Each structure stands twice: as C-alpha cells, then as structure tokens.
Structure 1
Amino acid sequence: MKSDVTGDVAVYTVAGAETARPLPEWLARRRKRSLKQDAEYMNRVELLQDFGFEEASQCIRASEDGDWVVSTGTYKPQMHVHYTPHLSLAFSRHTTALNTTFLLLSSDYTKSLHLQSDRSLEFHTKGQRHYTTRLPRYGRDLVYDRFSAEALVPSVGLDADGNGEVFRMNLDLGQFLNSYKIDVGRDEGVETGLQGSIYAPSVNCGTIAENTHGLTAFGTSAGTVAFFDPRVKKAIPVTGPKMEGEVTALDFSNSGLSLAVGSSEGIVKLFDLRSPRALLQKDQGMGYAIKQLMHLTTASQEKKILSADKRTIKLWDESDGKPWASMEPVVDINHVAWIKDTGMLMTANEGPDQHAFLIPQLGPSPRWCSFLDNMVEEMAEEVKTTTYDNYKFLTLPDLKSLSLDHLIGKTNLLRPYMHGYFVASKLYDQAKLIANPYAWEEERAKRVKEKVEQERASRIRGTKKVKVNQKLADKLLKRQERRAKVDTKAGMLGDDRFGKLFEDEEFMVDETSREFRSLNPSTKVDASGSTAPKQKERNSDDDSSGSEISSDEDENTSGVRMTVSSSNQNGRQSKDVALGSRSQKTGRVSKNRGDVVGEKSVSFVPESKRRKQAQDQDQDMEDAAPQQKRSYADRRSASTNTFRKL
C-alpha cells in the first residue's frame, strides 16, 4: 500500500498497479521464487478479487447499500459485479458493444441501464440482459429522473429544426417522449437533419438535483448550460452561464443552490443559481477537459469539490478553492466513483488494474474493508525520511556539505527534481560516512543521553503549589517517588472532596497543638511555629559497640531525670541514660499505650546527688586497680615460626 502526502492530507493507494502493464501470469509463475524475496510483492494488498479488466475499464459505480461494485470495460466488452462483503467477483457478463456509461436503477445491482457505443440502450436485470432499444443518434451521457421514471440521454447532432436534443424515454410506459430542445449552435459541415460532421454540436453532459428542487441541467458544446423543470408537461429552458470552450461536466450540490461547471479547457466554475456571476473559478492545471465533478462532505462536515480530468483527481475547498488533496495515477482516468460516507474513491482507467484510494480525513474506510483503518494507523506512525526506497532527496547545499556537487550532470546517481536532486541511497551513505566518520558514535552518544535524561526525569519528584498545608501536599507527593511518573492529581490532591483542605485556611493543620504532637512525636516545633525533625547526635566511640551515651543536660532542681531504657544487640543490659543523648534506633514498638512515646520506653527515675557521687568514686577505683596478667612462658607454642619467640 503506497502512501502520498499532500500538505496535511494523506492519500493511500489500496488497489492498482504501479505501472499500466504488470507482469503477465506466466512470467509471474516463473519468477515465483524470486518474488518471495520481494518485500513489496509479499506485503501487497488485494482489495477485491480480479479488480480489473484485460485492457481497460470505462465506468465504475457503487450501489446505494454499499454491498456491490459494478464496473464496465474491455476487451472483450463486459461487465464485472463484485460482492464487497466477500471481497470477491460475483460474476461477469459480456456485451456486444463497448459501454459508454451506465446507471444503477435499484439499491443493488439487480436493475441497471447501460448506454452503449453503438447507439443502443440496454436494460440489465439480475440474470441477463432484459431489453435493448436503439437511439436516433449517438448518446453522450445518461441521467435518470426517479420521480418521473425517465431516462434522459444527451445526444450528438441537430434535429430538423436545428436544435440539439435530449432524448426522453419513459420506463413506465416503455416509449420515447418529446425530446428536450436545446440551442447548441449550427453545424456548418453538413445539412440539417443528418447525423452531423465530426465536429457537430452536441449536448455533452447532464445532471439532476433529485434530492431538492428536481431541476435538470445540460451542458452543450457551445459553452452554455440549459435548465429544465420536469414537473411541468412542457419543458421551459432557461439559459445559464457561459463558459470558455465546451461544457463537459456538471454537478449540483446537496442543497441544490450551487452548480459546479467544468469545461474542455480544464476550468471549473462554481455558480449560485440566484446569480449570473461565478462565485469561484478553479484551474485544473493540466489543460485537459474536465471529465467529472462531484460535491463531497468530509468526516468533519467540510464541503469539498472533486474535479477529475484524464490525468489527475483534485479535491479542493468549496468556499475558497484551496487545494486539499490530489491523486495522479500512472494511467489515464475514465471515471471516478465515491463510496458515500467513506473516504474511498475508485477509478476506471486506461489500464488493466482499477485503482482505489483511501483518504482517512475524508472519511473512514467502508465497513467491508475496515481492516484498512488499522493498516493506515500503523503506516502513519512510521516516520519516512526518503521519497523512494533507493533514493534520498537532497538540496544543493546538502550536496555541497557532502562534497557531491561536482557530480551534477555527470552521473545517473544524481537525478534533478524541482529544487534538488535524488541521490542513490548507497552513494549517500558512503558520502555521509566519509564526511563524518564519527556519525555512528555521535548518534550512539545522543541515544544514551536521551535515555539517561528520560530516566532522570522519572526520578524527579513532582511539586504542586497549594494555598494551605503545603507540607502535607509535599508529603503526599513524596510517596510517589518510586513510580515512573509523579501524578500531582492522584489521591487526596485530585479528589474534590478534599479540595478545601488545601485551599481554605480554616482547614489549616495546627502543628503546635497537642493532637499534632502526639501523632508526630519526632517533629520539633520552633518558637516561630515552623516544624523540623529533631536532630540527634551519636557518639563515635559507641558506633561499633552500641553502648550507652551519657547526657550532657543538667539535672532539674527536684533531682528527677528522664532516662531511656534500651538493650544492646549482643544481649547485654545497658545503663540508663538521659533522653536525647543518643540516636534512636528502629525497633518494635510496644503496644502498651501507657509508656509509649515514639519508639522508645521512657521512665522517670529519681536519684540523689550523693548516690551518684558514690557510684562515680567506686567506678574510678575499679579503673585504677592494676590488672593481673597471666604468664604463658611455660606454655608450649604450637607455631613453628621461631621468630615469634624472639
């Protein structure tokens, strides 16, 4: 599936060959092994089975229910009917003459009306060709009026009175009625009443506003547009706008007030039926005759107009004529069909394969090929830097930076295109490596840096400014540090029920209250009202042994001292020391609420100064007493090292 981007609109080619004449079947079978290695061939999308003809296709239309696609082509002249839910060809039917155009009279394919190139009008049913009638002169187009059940056929040449004719055949009565008479000029080549010369004047095209006022419009070779009201028994022609060249395409808008007119000079004009002046003029740009015009509505309810000549299909804005999307197949276009309420366009063209284009911004894919939406999304995520698989587009400054400007005009590896050149991918890679041999290391360092920055950003704790209780908000956000992304609206911060907790001053947490101190014993409140955790210092002499540290605080006047009771890791009982003289260690908290403050057991032991002095004297005497040393002189040494005895 090929993707082309015009501005911001992507167009996907989901059916149709890249060239007009692909490999024949017998050659494809011989190259079956080599085609297995071709990624483009293996990843091809076959939208409909046998979606094409042996030589060319002439006209294509989709049924109103969306289940059938009918197309005509050659050679031999035939009609193909595809059943879309099965994505397959239902049947094909051969005819005796090449089809000019056809219409589907029912909501499916069972009733169709065909205008043939041999001046015949054929009626086809579900099983076969039902009836054939001949026309007095060659027909150019086919219009069907559902309200009066009339088939209108614009024709070539002049009648006995020197006017152009639109033949009317009533399908209810089964007979021709009086024709519409239109002034198309004079034929200087032959006499009046004959078929006419090669350049005989004619009525080229027609359209009908069947959903609104029901007027029919016909374009002539004289550049005029004639309007008829089929509700009256006698036709009343009204002269319309004048065009440069012949009028080759017409189409009413959904409202019936706007009419798009295309000419043989490649000019499209947009008219309001209430004004003789054109609202908008658009040039197709190729100089070929406009073959088809169509009013479209995108998925976002924007009004667009489709104009097609034999080379390009363009979609542009109805209000200002700004280009929106374009398609240019490699073969000439004969007819374009739009599947309503979708973004798919199908074409009949001068090639074996019929084309199908999908524009996601125009609408979704049809329900019978909804799998295309997933494929389009995957292709949209891929970032493509090259226009073609084997070429890279470079401007002249890019070529000079790679020292390739001396090859301009001397080799096929540089192909000029617009303001730059297409360079072969192999040559581009080699030149880039020579110009910057450290490109790989720089790219690797860039990738590593991006990854480090991404991980670093995930570790940064989020912040959120609130009016009240900022410390509580920071505490809630700190709990999310281990997450990949900090969410400032998670939990209480994002719950509307707790919104006043961080906005209303009446809900401010009083950190100096008794309730706050009892719930947060490790928080110290300064005189200014700010809180800070208590700073505790540990004696360096007791880091390894875990012994007690005496407090430097003075005793109170009553002789009562607050101490902390703790135990060593080795199981030895430690002395009581003053509270705050050593760092608190984590441990299991007692569940007895009577003596629990924080994580330590606190007791108040009354002591006298005399007893303390007596204990200090006894301790000093024990430290001063000489320790008796045991003699090991007579013990035999187990070591064979004689130097240890020296």
Structure 2
Amino acid sequence: MQVSSLNEVKIYSLSCGKSLPEWLSDRKKRALQKKDVDVRRRIELIQDFEMPTVCTTIKVSKDGQYILATGTYKPRVRCYDTYQLSLKFERCLDSEVVTFEILSDDYSKIVFLHNDRYIEFHSQSGFYYKTRIPKFGRDFSYHYPSCDLYFVGASSEVYRLNLEQGRYLNPLQTDAAENNVCDINSVHGLFATGTIEGRVECWDPRTRNRVGLLDCALNSVTADSEINSLPTISALKFNGALTMAVGTTTGQGKIFTSLEPEHDLNDVCLYPNSGMLLTANETPKMGIYYIPFSKPVLSSSLNQSLPPAFL
C-alpha cells in the first residue's frame, strides 16, 4: 500500500504492490513474505481484480454488490461480487467495449456500446440481443421514465432507441459537429450532452426541445490560461437537481486532489458513499484508491471541481 498527499488530502493506493502467483505453495508464500517487504505490505481486497492485458471501463451496480469491468484481449466483461470479494463470472465479447450501462439494480440487465457501432444487450443468463447505430458512438444514457437510450458520438444527432417499443425514434438534432459525452439527471430527467466545441446542450425529453446552452469553453478560458487548443467537453455528470460538473480536455478547474498512477487511466468509478475510487488502467491490474474524507468533500465540491468522464 502506498500513501500520497496533495492539498493536504491523503490518498491510499490499496492495489499497489506485488501479487503472489497462485501456483506457489503456502510454504513458499510465507518465505517470500519474510524476504520481500512489498509482498508483505500488499493488500488484496478483491481476488483476480485484473484483466488479461488492459481494462477499458469499470462501473458499480446500483445495489453496490457488483463491480463490472470490461477489457481486452480477447474483449470480455468480468463481474466481481463485493460480498464474496471474488470473481463471479466472465463473458467474452465479439468486439471491444466503448462504454456500458447497468440498467438494473444488480447485473441482470446490461447494455454494451461497442467500437464497431453495435449495441449489445445482456440479461442475467448471458447475451440477449444486439443492434447497430448509424454512426460510431462515444457515450450513452438511459432515460427510465420513457425507456429511451440516448446515444451520442461522431454525429450532430443524438440517436434514441426505445426499449419498450423496440425501435429507433426520431433523433435530436444538436448544433454540434460531434458529441463526446452525455448524462441524464435522475431527479427531473433533463438530458445533457457535451460537444467538441466546448458547449453543453440541455434537452427536455418530454418535449424533445433544447432548453439550455452552456458555453463552457469560452467561460473556462481566462487571460492566465495556457492552452494550445479549444477545450472540448470530456466529462459530464449531474449531482442532484441543480448541480452539474463539467470536465474539459485542457483541464480547467480548481483541483481538490489528483492521482498519478504509473499507467494511463481509461476510466474512473466512485464506489458510492465509501470514499473508494476504482480505476481502469492501461495495464492488467485495476486500481483501488481510498480517500478517507472524500464522502462529504467530493459530493459537495462538484460545483467547483472537475472530475478526471431493457425491460
């Protein structure tokens, strides 16, 4: 375990350290622990919390019992049970996953967005159905009241797939050339999408009309800013009914604290009400970090800080 600190905020890396091969005997493991300090100080919260090569995305189920992660190679999804602290199941996929969403409280309803434009639905027993969107997707959100999936990507249109009717509906036409990320407010259902021009467009799903436009790129650039390109929206997340956090590719925003892992990050997931961060990295091992007082601070600081992104 390693401890780092920034802005007087301590961060504990719980997954740092050497792991012991499973084929070693108990006697050799004990001997290795006596000789190697890094092995003796290691913490293994979840067994086999890794991918064969790279982990791309990671999420926690709404009930908090399951952690799902996707990776390569071969493309796959792994589900971990936090009650048993071990791998529950693994499924191989046909192509790499861009992102995914857990529609149920547990792992029984999952939607995967693949890099070949396919959308794949999985039930508790396994693969259920797949379809395709017209353009390459980058992110999607689920609107529970209407059973609509909203897909954004390399297009000015936001594609809508209704899961109750099983068909595509008329898309939303944005003013952007392309859209990077999106989110739906769980309180009042407002849909927001972040564009490559650095704007956030907000839409009302009930009327399918745009109700607001925020130029975050223009507001984030000041006389003291040192940037080489126009800030585009790279992360977007609602917090309650009236608060929204926006992240840009150039990193404007007041920093609460930061992580500097040895390998590049692909995705970050916050385990609810725990202060624990799960990271998907460009390495087989997934990261686990703990910030002791992040529960009250992170939730209240979303106003001012920028995060790193079927029935």
What is the TM-score when the length of structure 1 is the normalising length? 0.41
Q: Which has the larger radius of gyration?
A: 1
Q: Deviations 1:291-350 (Å, cap 9, x if unpaired)?
A: xxxxxxxxxxxxxxxxxxxxxxxxxxxxxx4x4432211111111111111111101111
Structure 2 residue corresponding to 1:108, chosen from 106, 109, 112: 106
Structure 1 runs of 4+ with >4 Å offset: 22-29, 31-36
* 2:212 match: 238
Q: Which residue identity lines up with residue 258 of structure 1 in the other structure?
A: T
Q: Which runs of 5+ in 1 are unaligned?
A: 158-163, 185-200, 268-281, 283-320, 365-646
2:281 matches 1:349: yes
Q: Which residue identity lines up with residue 9 of structure 2 in the other structure?
A: V
Q: Which residue identity lines up with residue 161 of structure 2 in the other structure?
A: M
Q: Give distance in 1, aligned partners of 2:193 and 2:249.
A: 15
Q: Deviations 1:91-150 (Å, cap 9, x if unpaired)?
A: 110000000000110111111111011100011111111100011110010111111111
* 1:396 match: none
Q: Give distance in 2, aligned partners of 1:117 and 1:4.
A: 36
2:223 matches 1:247: no
* 1:170 match: 162
Secondary structure of residue in 2 paired with 1:101: strand
Structure 1 residue corresponding to 2:123, chosen from 112, 122, 125: 125
2:272 matches 1:340: yes
| Aligned pairs (5 A) from 1:499-538 | none
Q: Which residue identity lines up with residue 232 of structure 2 in the other structure?
A: E
Q: Give distance in 2, aligned partners of 1:88 and 1:42.
A: 21
Q: Give distance in 1, aligned partners of 2:249 and 2:184.
A: 21
Secondary structure of residue in 1 paired with 2:83: helix
Deviation of 1:14 after TM superposition, in Å, equals 1.1
* 1:89 match: 87
* 1:223 match: 198
Q: Give distance in 1, aligned partners of 2:280 and 2:74.
A: 16
| Aligned pairs (5 A) from 1:287-366 | 321=254, 323-363=255-295
Q: Which residue identity lines up with residue 121 of structure 2 in the other structure?
A: F
Distance 1:7 1:227, change over 3 A: closer
* 2:307 match: none
Q: Give distance in 2, aligned partners of 1:351 and 1:91.
A: 21
Contact 2:17 2:38 (C-alpha < 8 Å) held by counterparts:
no
Deviation of 1:90 after TM superposition, in Å, equals 0.5
* 1:539 match: none
* 2:182 match: 206
Contact 1:48 1:87 (C-alpha < 8 Å) held by counterparts:
yes
| Aligned pairs (5 A) from 1:363-442 | 363=295
Deviation of 1:235 after TM superposition, in Å, equals 2.8
Q: Deviations 1:249-284 (Å, cap 9, x if unpaired)?
A: 212221x323322222222xxxxxxxxxxxxxx1xx
* 1:637 match: none
Distance 1:73 1:170, change over 3 A: same
Q: Give distance in 2, aligned partners of 1:152 and 1:28.
A: 51
Secondary structure of residue in 1 paired with 2:38: helix
Supply the RMSD in Å over aligned alpha carbons.
Answer: 2.4
* 1:10 match: 10
| Aligned pairs (5 A) from 1:530-549 | none
Q: Which residue identity lines up with residue 49 of structure 1 in the other structure?
A: Q
Deviation of 1:237 after TM superposition, in Å, equals 5.3
Contact 1:16 1:354 (C-alpha < 8 Å) held by counterparts:
no
* 2:51 match: 53
Deviation of 1:246 after TM superposition, in Å, equals 1.8
Structure 2 residue corresponding to 1:180, chosen from 161, 172, 178: 172
Q: Give distance in 2, aligned partners of 1:249 and 1:4.
A: 25
Secondary structure of residue in 1 paired with 2:35: coil
Considering fraction of residues, name the structure with more helix. 1
* 2:299 match: none
Distance 1:363 1:257, change over 3 A: closer
Deviation of 1:66 after TM superposition, in Å, equals 1.1
* 2:225 match: none
| Aligned pairs (5 A) from 1:54-69 | 54-69=52-67
Secondary structure of residue in 2 paired with 1:41: helix
Q: Which residue identity lines up with residue 6 of structure 1 in the other structure?
A: L
Structure 1 residue corresponding to 2:248, chosen from 263, 267, 274: 263
Count of aligned positions:
282
Contact 1:155 1:167 (C-alpha < 8 Å) held by counterparts:
no
Distance 1:84 1:64, change over 3 A: same
